[in-house]
């Protein structure tokens, strides 16, 4: 018993480090899939017929977006007719930085889209991975 009393800090550090190792697995199993990298996003699009949606504002979308991405601004996401009717399809969300896309993914998961994820780093990461981008004339 004196070992525990004398070394309580070491025991606490061991417990916290173990919890930090286990947390990502627990979070993912609980549905906190959150963000994926660009490689996983492309895999979801190509192999699982994932739908790519840009939740940036119309001006941001016009300035540059991933090729093939639908534009549904974050504020218009809930109840949008442009969302896929099949809620089992992966929905991959992008915005300029990935912050709004993360919130949008959480919103869509609550609405029943089982595989809604955001791209970590948003359009900047997409561009950095040298994936195709395009600009629109309308904005």
| Buried residues in 5-22 as b, exposed as e (16+ CB within 10 A) | eeeeeeeeeeeeeeeeee
Q: Is 52 helix (H, G, I), strand (E, B) or coil?
A: strand
Q: How many helices (H) and strands (E) does the chain have?
A: 6, 7
pLDDT tens for the 139 residues of the chain, in order: 788 888 889 888 988 888 888 766 665 544 445 789 999 999 999 999 999 999 999 999 999 999 999 999 999 998 899 999 999 999 999 999 888 999 999 999 999 998 999 999 999 999 999 999 998 765 4
Q: Does one domain contain both 77 and 106? A: yes
In a domain, 53, yes or no: yes
Q: Does one domain contain both 81 and 24? A: no
* Predicted TM-score (pTM) of this structure: 0.74
Domain of residue 73: give its range: 31-134
């Amino acid at each position: 018993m004196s070992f525990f009393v004398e070394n309580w800090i070491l025991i606490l550090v061991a417990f916290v480090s173990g919890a930090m190792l286990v947390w990502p697995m627990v979070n993912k199993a609980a549905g906190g899939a959150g963000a994926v990298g660009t490689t996983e996003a492309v895999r979801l699009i190509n192999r699982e017929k994932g739908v790519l949606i840009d939740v940036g504002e119309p001006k941001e979308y016009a300035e540059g977006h991933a090729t093939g991405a639908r534009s549904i601004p974050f504020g218009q996401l809930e109840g949008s007719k442009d969302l896929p009717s099949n809620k089992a399809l992966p929905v991959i969300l992008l915005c300029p930085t990935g912050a709004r896309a993360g919130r949008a993914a959480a919103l869509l998961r609550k609405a029943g889209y089982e595989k809604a994820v955001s791209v970590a780093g948003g359009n900047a990461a997409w561009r950095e991975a040298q994936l195709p981008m395009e600009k629109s004339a309308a904005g």
